Structure 1
Amino acid sequence: MPSLTVSRTIDAPVEKVFDVSTDVHIWADVVPAIQRVEVLTDGPVGLGTRFRETRTMFGRDATETMEFIEFERPNRYVLGAQSHGCRYRSIFTLTPDGGGTKLEMVFEGTPLTFGAKVMSVVMRPFMKKMGDMCAADLDAIKAHVES
C-alpha cells in the first residue's frame, strides 16, 4: 500500500499546534469525521497512550484502537494501529514556518497477511480519497487552532 502525505501551515506556534493535535480528548469536537474517542490508558497523553477512535470513512463508521508509539513534544508524534491484517502508522511532523507551523502527516499502511496484500491492490484507487480525508482532518485542526 503506498504512503500518502498531506500538510498544512497553521498560524500558531509549534507548541500550540502540537498540544491541540495530540489532545485526543477534543478530537471528536474538532474533527467532523471523528464520532468519538475513548481513551484506554490513564494519565496525560503521551508515549504509550492508547485510545479507540470511531470515525466515518467511506460513508461508514469505523473503529480502530491506536497508540502513540512516538511522542517527541513539540516536533513529532506517531500513531500506530494494527487492523484487518495491516499495520498502520500516521507520522506527524511539526516545523516552524515563518510565524506559524507546518503540520505534515504521512500515512503508511503495511499489509501483513495475504488477504491484506490483495486488498492493498484493490484499495489503491481509493488513496486519493484517503488523502482528501487526511487533508480534511488537518484543515479542521488548522481551523480550531486559528480560531
Structure 2
Amino acid sequence: MPSLNLSSVIACPPRRVFTTVAHLGEFAAAVPSITRASCLGTTEEGVGARWEVFREISGVERSTVFEVVEYEPDSWVRIVSEAGGATWDAGFEVTPDGRRTALALSLEARAKGIAARMSLPVILGAAKGAFAKDLDAVKRHCESAK
C-alpha cells in the first residue's frame, strides 16, 4: 500500500495547529490552492464531519469529499476521502515540542482496482510535493496568527 510521511515544526501552541488541520474549513483558509470548502452536514468538526473541498490542480478546479473518522482533541485527527480510484487515509498528529508544535502527516492510499493499483505509486510520488506545500501553508497560517 503506497504511503508517505511528512512533518513540520510550527512555532505556535498545539491547539492552534490542531484546529487548522482538524477543521477542514480552517484548513481551506490556510492552503492557497484550496478555492473553497463546504460543510456537508451539521457537524463541522469531530468524528462524522464531512466537507467538500475544492482545489485547483493544474489549472482545473476539482472537488473531493473528506470525512473525519477519528478525532482526539488537540492531538490526532484522521480524515478519509475517495478520489482517483483510491481511498486516501490521512492522519495528522499534533505533539507539543517546548514552545513549538510538531505536526506529522501520515498518508496511505488504497487502490480500488488494477488501473489505480498500477498508477497509485506514481500519483502519490507526484503528490508528495503538494502535501509538503500544504504543510508549509499550515505552518505559515498558524505562525501568522500568534
TM-score, structure 2 normalization: 0.89
Cα gap change, 1:127 to 1:115, in 2 (>3 Å): closer
* Identity across the alignment (%): 29
Alignment check: 8 A CA contact 1:75 1:93 kept: yes
Over aligned residues, Cα RMSD in angstroms? 1.7
Alignment check: 8 A CA contact 1:5 1:131 kept: no
Alignment partners' CA distance in 1, 2:96 and 2:40? 32
Alignment partners' CA distance in 1, 2:70 and 2:28? 22
1:65 corresponds to: 65
Alignment of 1:12-91 (within 5 A): 12-91=12-91
Query: Which stretch has the larger CA shift, 33-42 or 58-67?
Result: 58-67
Structure 1's consecutive aligned runs of 4 or more residues displaced over 3 angstroms after TM superposition are 126-129
1:97 corresponds to: 97
Count how many residue pairs are aligned between Structure 1 and Structure 2: 144
Shift of 1:97: 1.5
Cα gap change, 1:127 to 1:114, in 2 (>3 Å): closer
Alignment partners' CA distance in 2, 1:145 and 1:83? 28
SS at match of 1:68: strand
Which segments of 5 or more consecutive residues in structure 2 lack a partner in the other structure?
none
TM-score, structure 1 normalization: 0.88
Alignment of 1:104-123 (within 5 A): 104-120=104-120, 123=121
Alignment partners' CA distance in 2, 1:31 and 1:61? 14
Alignment check: 8 A CA contact 1:27 1:37 kept: no
1:140 to 113, 137, 142: 137
